[in-house]
Amino acid sequence: MLLQAQRCFAPQDIFENGQAFRFGKVRDGVYEGVAHGRFLRVTQRPDGVFLYPCEARAFEEIWRHFFDLDICYEALFEDCDDAALRSGIAYAPGLRILNQQPFETLISFILSANNHDARIRSLVDKICSAYGAPFSFEGNPYHAFPEPQALAQACEADLRTLGVGYRAPYLIGASRSIAEGFDLDAVAQMDYAAAKRRLMELPGVGAKVADCILLFSLSFREAFPADVWVRRILQDTYDFCGNDKQIFEFAQAKFGACAGIAQQYLFHHARESAKQARTLNV
């Protein structure tokens, strides 16, 4: 399926900002990965973005929501004159916030604690290979993300062998909660504060990870994950420093109801700039 003339949709901007760990670059403008137990290739073309395989029904049932296509990103911040946000949008105009599967997002971001992108990807990949249902597409083998029950039954030693380290009991504990009836979809129906509190009842889920789950899988666009990068940006750009609650209020006042999306432009831009600075120094 071809999504024609999408100004705010570029696979590079979507899959390389740290919100998703199972899609990787195959070559310039082409990303492949697995979501919802299916393979998907996303190709940037002159006439738009091509999704494959993606029949009309799969698009309506899965990918429209996955890529957050009911939101018009072009209109989101057109009235915001914040210079940092403007340059962030200019840097990655094709960025979108995905609506990923809640359990996958939960586990992925528990792994993200005190960890970096390349390693998170590697760990998620190993967990999928070990505990996810295998399937093949066009002759190539893939794995779905594991079901909660599968991870809940994993033993800590096996997970540690995969390299997850001290996060092993968190993964098992959180998976067990979900398997035993903790309803992530119900969390999506709560108001922001209640939803965040509820997620933080899960082992390995603190304020930042909870916000990531809310933003990247449950459509809470006000969730404003405050990691070290965001705190650095707030300090350097706005001379602002505060606790979680104060940061949330600052973000609401500055960026409005979709502050979380603004956060991702800022975060992505800051991190890529730092990356470039490092390579220039060497």
Partner DNA sequence: GCCCAGGATCACC
Partner DNA sequence: GGTGATCCTGGG
Q: Just list the catalytic residues.
A: 208
* Residues 6+ away with beta carbon under 8 Å from 217: 98, 99, 100, 101, 102, 104, 105, 106
- Whether the CB-CB separation of 270 and 25 falls below 8 Å is answered with no
Instruction: Pick the closer one to DNA by CB: 84 or 123.
Output: 123
Instruction: Pick the closer one to DNA by CB: 17 or 99.
Output: 17
Q: Tokens in use for 182?
A: 């903790």
Output the smallest distance, CB 2 to DNA, in A: 28
- Kindly list the residues in this chain that would bind DNA in the complex (CB under 7 A): 17-19, 112-119, 122, 160, 163-167, 170, 200, 203-210, 212, 225, 227-229, 243, 267, 271
Output the smallest distance, CB 1 to DNA, in A: 27
Closest by Cα among 5, 85, 36 to 251: 85
3-state secondary structure of 119: helix
- Whether the CB-CB separation of 8 and 93 falls below 8 Å is answered with yes
Question: Which residues are registered as beta bridge partners of 137?
Answer: 140
Instruction: Pick the closer one to DNA by CB: 3 or 212.
Output: 212
How many other β-carbons are positioned within 10 Å of the β-carbon of residue 212?
24
Q: Tokens in use for 67?
A: 């890529």
Instruction: Pick the closer one to DNA by CB: 53 or 206.
Output: 206
Output the smallest distance, CB 230 to DNA, in A: 8
Output the smallest distance, CB 214 to DNA, in A: 11
- Whether the CB-CB separation of 221 and 97 falls below 8 Å is answered with yes
Task: Report the C-alpha gap between 50 and 44 in whole angstroms.
Answer: 6
